[in-house]
Amino acid sequence: MWGEFMRRVKIIIGITLILLCLFTQAVLAIDKPEFDLQTKSAILMDAKTGRILYEKNAHQKLPPASVTKIMTMLLAMEAVDEGRVKWDDKISTSELAAKMGGSQIWLEPGEEMTFEHLIKAVAVVSANDACVAIAEHLYGTEENFVKAMNDKAKELGLENTFFYNTNGLPPTDPDIQGNYTTAADVAKMSLELLKHPKILKFTSIWIDHIRDGESFLRNTNNLVRFFKGADGLKTGYTQEAGFCVSATAKKDGMRFIAVVMNAPNSKVRFNEARSLLNYAFSIHRSVDIVSKGEVVSKVKVFKGEIPEIDAVAKEDLKISVMKGEEKEAVKQTRLNKEVVAPVKVGDKVGEIVVLKGEEVLGRVDLVAKEEVAKANFFKIILQLFKKFISNIMNIFE
């Protein structure tokens, strides 16, 4: 009888050890994914947190070819936000812009095109001539624009990045240093570009036209057409750089960035970017935190006609968490200590932040649901008196 009992105990222990081994292997597989990539360099990033999910030679300096245009588009979008250019501004083509080789929309010297159509041409068909036209319009010369690109790289902490031109074409003189960067730096600049979501209006286009339908545009990024949720960002190819792409996709509120550099051919480039993105979506799940317009809390208003207002979420907030880590996400509601009238609808009065340890998984502003006018003199005096009494009482508690 004792022998039978011990036999069963050994069986149970054996099964437990096997299950623990399998579980440990599964965890390690999530923490350290294995990909048999032909690509020389690659990285996979969570676009909301910046967490690196996978990397291969991610800090190796390589020529980026037209992936360079991520920085070009970033400076262009910043110019829009700063009011230095409008979407319908007409931009004239210089002799320099017109003679750019490689991918282009065949701009003629003196031809005018709107800033919006030029950005579309850069984002969709990787037009080198459009890059130079934009650069000259915004900074006077391409050289000045390139200096701004390198200044921005330093600002973003891209220590292994250098730009020689706006479009990624290699220098004709072999003694001149051309553009170089790393997969890690491309991911960071891609993350920065995504802070300007309007760029996705252009990078997500599959087929379009400009010049009143005379010029046909077809996106160089096949993932936009053949991978669900893909909406950017930029491809690149030269003989020296090989086939490159910074790809991003969004599903169920989750967004990831996959950078592939120096793939041997276009098929491998897209297949490996697709594999990385599929992996990211497979190990994460989306969690709803708050909906746009949802009342989250009451906020006290000082010197107002009414004493408090509703704080509502400015936008929907969803976070992506690794499966099994959902309970580690902690939601914090942070309200402004003092909101002083007058208050307008939409004024920020706080925020919701979701944390996993010290890592920020997501955040959204809380805004005033209603307007509050400033109270008259006597109401303000009464409020000050009540506040004084309240402070005195707190001292003796």
Q: Report the alpha-carbon distance of residue 29 to residue 60 in Å, rounded.
A: 24
Of 135, 129, 163, 160, give the one whose Cα is nearest residue 149: 163
Residue 198 assigned to a binding site: no
Q: Report the alpha-carbon distance of residue 38 to residue 262 in Å, rounded.
A: 9
Alpha carbon separation from 1 to 7, 13, 14 (Å, rounded): 10, 19, 20
Q: Is 126 a catalytic residue?
A: yes
Select which of 41, 48, 56, 66 is catalytic. Answer: 66
| Neighbouring C-alpha atoms within 13 Å toward the C-beta of 207 | 3
Q: Is 69 a catalytic residue?
A: yes
Single-letter code of the amino acid located at 253? G
- Given a contact cutoff of 8 angstroms between Cβ atoms, the answer to whether 272 and 42 are in contact is yes
Q: Is 95 exposed, middle or buried (0-12, 13-18, 19+ CB in 10 A)?
A: exposed
Q: Is 356 a catalytic residue?
A: no
Helix (H) or strand (E) holding 301: strand 295-302
E runs forming strands in 183-229: 207-210, 215-218
Active site residues: 66, 69, 126
- Residue stretches of the annotated binding site for substrate: 234
